[in-house]
Structure 1
Amino acid sequence: MLASVTGKGVCLCTILWILDTKGVFSLKNVTLSIEPSVVQYRNTSKLRCTYDLEGDALYTVKWYRGSLEFYRYTPSEKERDKRKQAFPFKGVTIDVDRSDSTQVTLNDIDFVVSGEFCCEVTTEDSHIHALNNCKSMVVVQLPEHPPEISVRGEPFDYGDILRANCSSYRSRPPADLTLILNGITVNQTEPLALRKLRPTDYSDLQLELKLSDLHFQEGQLNLQCVAQVSSVYHETVGLELQSVRHPVPEKVSAPNTASAASTASSQTIPLRLFCFTMLCFNAESVIKILIKTIPASCVTYYTVVATPVCDYTDIRINSLDKFYALIVVINLINIKMPHNDNPK
C-alpha cells in the first residue's frame, strides 16, 4: 500500500514538472499602466503593458475597452497591417505608428472613452497561456478660469454674519469646492454622487457663518476658495476681508501742487486756439487773435502788454499751399496774468 501511494505521488510530481518545463506557468507579471489615467478632453493618453515571458514565445497582445477589442499586436505576422491591427473604436483615434507590442497610443479622446481598459498577453509554445491586467481611465474637461469669491456685509466684527459665495466655471465633472477661513475649512460641496448636476456643469458653494473671536486671526479674516477636478486640477483664490478688528489705514496722498496753484489763481486761463497766419509766428497777429478770443475782462491787459506771457506746447507748422501759408496749432496755452490783491 505504501509503495502504491508513493508511486502515485511520484507520478503527480512528474506531471507537474513536465507541465512547468512546457512553459504553462512561465508568463507572469502582466501589468497595465495608463499615462495619464485622468485625461483632458481631446488630449492623448498612452497605455503600456509590461510582462515577463520567461522564455516563452509571444503569440499576441490584445487591448480592450470593456469587452471591445480595439488593438492587437501579432509578432508572427510578416505584413505590417496584420502585425498591427486597429479596430473601430468610437470616441478615439488609435495612433498605429506609435503603438507596438508593449504600448498603444490614443489621440483625440472623447468623454465616452472613460472606463476600464485591459491588456491581454498570450504566449505560444506547446500550450497557449494568457494573462491580463486592467486599469481605469477618466476623461475630464477643466474650468477655463479660476474660481471666484463674492462677499457681502463688510467690514466684519464679532457677531456679524459672513455671507459668501464661491463659484467655479463649467467643467466635467463639476469641480469640488471648499471654503477656508483663516486656514479652517468652513464649508465644502457634497460628494459628486450626491449632487444633482449635469455631467458638464458649473459648481457653486454658499456660506452663511456667524463670526466669533475664534474666526479672527490677529483681527484679520482671510477667505479662500479651492476648486478641484479629480487629480489634475487644483486652483485656489483668496480674499482678505475688511475687518473692524484690523482696519486698513486710510491712504494719504501728497497734495497736488499743480491743482493747488490752479485754484489759487483764478486768473490762469487755459485756452485752445487755432491761429492761422501768413507769417511764421508774428506776435502782433497772435495778440490780435487772442484779444478776439479771450474773455472781455482780459482785453485791457493784452492791449497794454506788447507780448503776452504764454507757455506754448506741441507747436506743429505745416505748409498748406504754394503761398507758403502756415498753420500754427497751439494745443495748450496757459495765459498767466498778474495777480493783484488790491485792484484800484
Structure 2
Amino acid sequence: MYGLVRVPSPAAHSLIPLLLFILLSLDGAGVVGIRNVVVNLPAVATLGSNVKLECSFDMENETLYSIKLYKGSQEFLHFIPEFRPPHSVYKVRGVLVTGTNLSLNSLEFSYNHEDQIDHPSLPLLKKLKVGIGVLHAELLNVDLFSQGVYTCEISADSPSWDTGIASQRLHVLVEPESRPTIHGIQTFYRPGQDVQLTCKVQNTFPSANITWYLGDIKTESVSVEKETEDSGLMTTLARLQAPVFQETTVKCLASLWTHHYQSKDYVILVKDPPTASVRANQTHGGKNGGTGTAGNQLEPVFQPSVTAGAGWTDGGFFNLMMLPHILYLLYSPFL
C-alpha cells in the first residue's frame, strides 16, 4: 500500500556540497559584471588649455556593446562596434574632441575628428571577450562652457546587458592678468592708528578668495565685494581695517582653487607726529585770550602809571596841558 522511499547513501550526501560548488562556479563565470569604471581628468583646467580624459574599465570577459561619453546629460562621443561608423562625435557646447584612442585587450583603435575608416579588427569585437579596456579622448581649448560633469558609460552586449558608469567634474579657471593690487596706503601712520586698505583682484573665474597678512599674522577682511563684469568674469574687492603700532609689512593673497597669487609687500611706516612749537604769550590778552599777539591785543583806555619823583606822567589821569582849561572852568562864574 505504501511506496518505498529510497534513502541516499552516505557517499551521495558527501557529493552534494561539491556539486553545489561546481554549479555556483559555472553560473557565476562570465556574469560578474562590468566593474572598476574610472574617469580620470584634471579637477581644474586653465582657460584655453587642452584636457585629456581617460575612461578605464574591466568588463570581466563580457562582449562590448558600447562606450559613451557625456557632458551633463548630453552625449558627445560613442564607440559602438555594430554601428557604421562605429566612432561618432557630436557637437556639444564647450566640448571639442580632437582625437580618440581605445584599447580592448590587445586590440588598438585610433580615430581623429575626420577619420571614420573602419578598422580591420572591428569584426573581431563581435565575439571578443573583453577584459581590461581604456579609452582616451582629448578636449581642445576648454572654455567656461567646458566645465561640468563628464560621464563614461560602458555597456555589455547580450545576454547580460550589464552597464557600468563613472563620473568626474571639471572646473575651468580664468587666472588674473596681473597680481593683486593694494590701494589706500598712507605715507605714515601714528601708533595705534587704523590702516584702511583695499585689495583688488580683477577678471578671474571663479571669484578669488582673499587673505590679508600684517607681517606674518593672518588678518581677516572686514568686508568683501564681488562684481560680475560684462564678460562674465569676476572682480573681487576685500577691505582691511586694523590698528598698527610699529613698522610692519602688509600683503594680500588671492586663491582660486589650487592656484595662488600674491600682491607686492608694502611697508607700513609708523611714527609719532612732529611736536608743534608753542609761542609763549608775552602780551596782555584780556578776556579774548592770553595767547594773542601784540597786534591783536586791545589797549586799555586809561593806563595810570606813577613813577617816584615824576609827578603826573603823560599817561596819567591828569595832564599838565589840561591845567589852563581846569582853571578856566573853576573861575568862569566869577568873571
TM-score (norm 1): 0.58
CA drift of 1:155 comes to 1.9
Secondary structure of residue in 2 paired with 1:109: coil
Amino acid corresponding to residue 96 of structure 1 in structure 2: G
Q: Which structure would you say has the larger RCO, counting Cα contacts within 8 Å and 6 or more residues apart?
A: 2
Shift of 1:225: 0.9
Q: Secondary structure at the match of 2:263?
A: strand
Aligned counterparts, 1:210-221, within 5 A: 210-212=243-245, 216=246, 220-221=247-248
- 1:48-197 matches, within 5 Å, as 48-75=54-81, 82-96=85-99, 102-124=135-157, 126-188=159-221, 197=227
Shift of 1:190: 7.6
User: Hey, what's the Cα distance between the residues in 2 that align with 1:60 and 1:166?
Assistant: 52
1: CA distance between counterparts of 2:33 and 2:161? Answer: 11
Q: How does 1:1-344 map to 2 (within 5 A)?
A: 16-21=24-29, 23-34=30-41, 36-75=42-81, 82-96=85-99, 102-124=135-157, 126-188=159-221, 197-198=227-228, 199-212=232-245, 216=246, 220-231=247-258, 233-244=259-270
Does the 8 A contact of 2:38 with 2:55 survive in 1?
yes
Report the Cα offset of residue 43 of structure 1.
Answer: 2.4
Distance 2:264 2:206 in 1: 23
Distance in 1, Cα, partners of 2:221 & 2:63: 55
- SS of residue in 2 equivalent to 1:149: strand
* Structure 1 unpaired stretches of 5+: 247-344
Give me the whole-angstrom Cα distance separating, in 1, the residues matched to 2:92 and 2:57: 25
Q: Assess if the C-alpha contact under 8 Å between 1:177 and 1:189 holds in 2.
A: no
Report if aligned partners of 2:100, 2:137 keep a CA contact under 8 Å in 1: no
- Return the index of the structure with the highest Cα Rg: 2
Quote the Cα distance in structure 2 between the aligned partners of 1:189 and 1:10: 75
Q: Aligned residues, how many?
A: 230
Q: Deviations over 1:271-311 (max 9, x none)?
A: xxxxxxxxxxxxxxxxxxxxxxxxxxxxxxxxxxxxxxxxx
Distance 1:190 1:244, change over 3 A: closer
CA RMSD, 1 decimal:
3.4
Corresponding residue SS for 1:25: coil
Partner of 1:257: none
What's the CA shift string for 1:96-134, capped at 9, x where partnerless?
Answer: 356755111111223123211111112336422211111
Is the contact made by 1:155 and 1:241 (CA closer than 8 Å) also made in structure 2?
Answer: no
Q: Please identify, of 46-55 and 61-70, the stretch whose mean Cα deviation from structure 2 is larger.
A: 46-55
> How many angstroms does 1:71 deviate by?
0.6
- Measured after TM superposition, the shift of residue 172 of structure 1 is 1.4
1:16 positional shift: 4.5
The residue that corresponds to 1:317 in the other structure is none
The separation in 1 between residues aligned to 2:221 and 2:78, in whole angstroms, is 45
Asked whether the equivalents of residues 20 and 26 of structure 1 are also in contact (C-alpha less than 8 Å), the reply is no
Give, in whole Å, the separation in 2 of the partners of 1:115 and 1:170: 21
Task: Note if contact 1:222-1:238 (Cα within 8 Å) is conserved in structure 2.
Answer: no
Determine helix, strand or coil for the equivalent of 1:60: strand
Mapped to 2, the partners of 1:11 and 1:142 lie a distance apart of 66
Amino acid at match of 2:39: L
Q: Secondary structure at the match of 2:155?
A: strand
Q: Secondary structure at the match of 1:53?
A: strand
Cα 1:115/1:19, change in 2 over 3 Å: farther
Give the share of equivalent positions with the same residue, in percent.
Answer: 21
